[in-house]
Amino acid sequence: MIFTIARNELRRMFLSPLAWTILAVVLFILAFMFLSNLQYFVMVQSRLLSMGSNQGLTAVVVAPLLGNTAVVLLLVVPLVSMRLVADERRNKTLSLLFSAPVSMTEIVLGKYLSLVAFLWLILALVALMPLSLLAGGTLDFGMFGAGLFGLALLIAGFAAVGLFMSTLTQHQTVAAVSTFGVLLLFWILDWAGQGSGASGILGYMSILNHYEPFLQGIFDTSDAAYLVLFILTFVTLSIRRLDMDRLGG
Amino acid sequence: MSDEVLVEVEDLSRSYGAILAVRHISFSIRRGQVLGFLGPNGAGKTTTMQILSGNLAPSTGRVRIAGHDLLEDPRKAKQAIGYLPEQPPVYRELTVDEYLDYCAGLNRIARGRRRAAREAAKKKCGLSDVGRRLIGNLSKGYQQRVGLAQAIIHLPPVIILDEPTVGLDPIQIREIRHLIRELGKEHGVILSTHILPEVQATCDQVQIINKGELVLNDSIEGLSRHMQSSTLSVGLRNAPDLGLIQGIKGVKSVQDQGDGRLHVFYDPSTDPTEALVELAVQKHWGLYELQPQRASLEDIFVHITTEEHESLKGAAA
């Protein structure tokens, strides 16, 4: 049942020009960034070698690419997630789901899954760029894999926030703006109280601090657990919020 | 089989903050019954429909659908419901076929039987020719039919329709009413409307709701009794002294509407129409129009609510 809903969501997403536009723009920008990084690497390659540095292709080209992807998706996820529930609420199509024999959890998970699937599709296309380097070089697959895994978890977290914000309102733009606000806040949370005692907690809460180790090829279970908990929290909140739709009023 | 109870509503209430939209409603529907839910705007019709379809949780009370409690066993109960809200819940960017396939899936129709279910629902709702068109490009009437097809695709025992004929042209209205009667033979149908003739044309049981309270629960014959006209609209070219008409047996009062038009109110037990016509011919009043006034929904409300008031007073005395 979750998959029925997710498939329908994905189909409707790709029937609108929005999904295609986002795919095209995101991939174009990231390809541009990738190529500039590659050019830079070619320039400094001999110097790196002569310095005896162990910084290879993966560290110089791939890690920045994945870092940039996270930033670009921070901007893009709100645009994709905003319509999930808000749009249905506005068009009064939610009652189709509510009166069907499906539970609230299935509805929310179906919608969430469709969004994650779309974002992971972007990720898969982005991952093809570093893989193309295999034609003329080698990659550190451990580092690359850890980075991809971290990014996959991170954007699943973005999606969970977007979904929750979309359940709060019937205006897509409101959902998009608040999603962006929350995501950015989690991103820059460790700016606050830097150097003082408070940076400990805020720094721990910052989503960026749990993503960067992955880019350096470090798979830390506590970072993964943070992201998984982050996702679970917002998905659960979404379910609760939709349940409130029936109870409140 | 025909007296199987499909919907049981007990002591249902729903409040929005301080406003009590539905107060202590109880009723039931059996298979083969079309129940008309009648009421003015804001009477609580839609709220009741939303509760029955699981879109709203009741504040108090119980709803059982086909033997399953809507709150305790929502999946089984909802499987037995087809619901068409006021605004058909259609996705404009899908084609009719895609949309109905999705609805079939949502209602847990096995993959192999979805196509047959979709085709059957389309046939019933007159959608066979538009299967490949985008819902957004269809007219309002067709969108309404798509909504209806969605509600019946899984052949639910109970079909809930919230103002199904709003925004349709007269021919479509007739078709939809015909369809509802057809559905009423095998299913239990609840239909909300504020159009009185619609109830007379389609339903066999009528409920009138006013300010959240059920003020009448009767068969369609019972409603006709309430609707017994007691007013005549008369048009006379040479209107006489009103006292002459007042003198006819059974006439309670006469009201001059100007232009020789009169409203004659009479005691329902003695119909003065015949005597009035005879007198008009004898005295050359120039009778050119004579029409029994149909009681409007509003009249019935007034009638029923005042009637209740009086019976309450009688009980108190």
Spell out the per-residue pLDDT of chain B, length 317, in tens: 456 888 989 888 988 888 888 888 898 888 888 998 888 777 888 889 999 998 888 888 889 998 899 888 888 999 999 999 988 999 999 999 999 999 999 999 998 999 999 999 999 888 889 989 999 999 888 898 899 999 999 999 999 999 888 778 888 888 888 888 888 888 889 998 888 778 888 888 888 888 888 888 888 777 776 666 677 888 888 877 777 788 787 787 787 877 778 888 887 777 788 888 888 888 888 888 888 776 666 677 677 766 655 555 544 44
- Taking residue B89's Cβ as centre, other Cβ atoms within 10 Å add up to 24
> How many structural domains are present in chain B?
2
Q: Are B212 and B240 part of one and the same domain?
A: no
Q: Are B41 and B138 part of one and the same domain?
A: yes
> What integer pLDDT is reported at residue B317 of this predicted model?
42
- Domain containing B241 equals 231-292
- Taking residue A171's Cβ as centre, other Cβ atoms within 10 Å add up to 15
Give the pLDDT band of residue A5 (cuts 50, 70, 90). Answer: very high
Q: Do B89 and A246 touch (CB under 8 A)?
A: no
Is residue B181 a part of any domain in this protein?
Answer: yes
Q: Which amino acid is at A205?
A: M
> What integer pLDDT is reported at residue A111 of this predicted model?
95
H helix intervals, chain B: 45-52, 74-79, 96-106, 111-124, 140-152, 170-186, 196-202, 220-226, 242-246, 273-282, 297-316
Q: Are B53 and B188 part of one and the same domain?
A: yes
Assess contact for A178 and A81: CB atoms under 8 A: no
Q: To probe the interface with A, which of B106, B134, B150 has the most A CB atoms within 10 Å?
A: B106
- Which residue in B6, B7, B5, B40 sits closest to B25, CA to CA? B7
Tell me the C-alpha distance between A108 and A105, whole Å: 5
Is residue B278 a part of any domain in this protein?
Answer: yes
Q: Any chain A CB within 8 A of the CB of B106?
A: yes
Picking from B226, B252, B278, the residue at the C-terminal end of a domain is: B226
Q: Any chain A CB within 8 A of the CB of B134?
A: no
Q: Any chain A CB within 8 A of the CB of B275?
A: no
Is residue B216 a part of any domain in this protein?
Answer: yes
Give the pLDDT band of residue A107 (cuts 50, 70, 90). Answer: very high
Q: Are B17 and B148 part of one and the same domain?
A: yes
Q: Which tens digits make up the pLDDT trace of A62-85?
A: 889 999 999 999 999 999 999 999
Chain A CB contacts of B98 under 8 Å are 11
Rg over alpha carbons for chain B, rounded to the nearest Å, is 24
Name the minimum distance, in Å, from the CA of B2 to any CA of chain A. 25
Q: Do B75 and A95 touch (CB under 8 A)?
A: no
Picking from B181, B196, B226, the residue at the C-terminal end of a domain is: B226
> What integer pLDDT is reported at residue B54 of this predicted model?
87
Is residue B269 a part of any domain in this protein?
Answer: yes
> What integer pLDDT is reported at residue B264 of this predicted model?
82
Q: Are B213 and B164 part of one and the same domain?
A: yes
Q: Which tens digits make up the pLDDT trace of A124-155?
A: 999 999 998 888 778 888 889 999 999 999 99
Q: Do B76 and A101 touch (CB under 8 A)?
A: yes
Q: Do B75 and A247 touch (CB under 8 A)?
A: no
Is residue B297 a part of any domain in this protein?
Answer: no
- Taking residue A61's Cβ as centre, other Cβ atoms within 10 Å add up to 24
Which of B16, B83, B89 lies nearest to residue A93, judging by beta carbons? B89
Q: Are B265 and B198 part of one and the same domain?
A: no
Assess contact for B102 and B121: CB atoms under 8 A: no
Q: Do A246 and B98 touch (CB under 8 A)?
A: no
pLDDT surpasses 60 at A118: yes
Q: Are B196 and B239 part of one and the same domain?
A: no
Is residue B308 a part of any domain in this protein?
Answer: no
Q: Are B200 and B86 part of one and the same domain?
A: yes
Is residue B261 a part of any domain in this protein?
Answer: yes
Tell me the C-alpha distance between A205 and A190, whole Å: 8
Q: Are B35 and B159 part of one and the same domain?
A: yes
> What integer pLDDT is reported at residue A19 of this predicted model?
92
Q: Are B71 and B175 part of one and the same domain?
A: yes
Name the minimum distance, in Å, from the CA of B175 to any CA of chain A. 24
Q: Are B88 and B145 part of one and the same domain?
A: yes
Tokens of A91: 């068009």
Q: Are B60 and B172 part of one and the same domain?
A: yes
> What integer pLDDT is reported at residue B227 of this predicted model?
64
Q: Which tens digits make up the pLDDT trace of A19-57?
A: 999 999 999 999 999 999 989 888 888 787 777 666 678
- CATH code where residue B246 lies: 3.30.70.100
Picking from B184, B201, B226, the residue at the C-terminal end of a domain is: B226
Is residue B24 a part of any domain in this protein?
Answer: yes
- The residue in chain B having the minimum alpha-carbon distance to the alpha carbon of residue A248 is B16
Here the ipTM equals 0.86
Q: Do A101 and B75 touch (CB under 8 A)?
A: yes
**pTM given for the model:** 0.85
- CATH code where residue B25 lies: 3.40.50.300
Q: Which tens digits make up the pLDDT trace of A167-226?
A: 999 899 999 999 999 999 998 887 776 665 555 777 788 888 888 889 888 888 999 999
Q: Do B76 and A11 touch (CB under 8 A)?
A: no
Chain B CB contacts of A99 under 8 Å are 53-55, 78, 81, 83
Q: Do B83 and A95 touch (CB under 8 A)?
A: yes
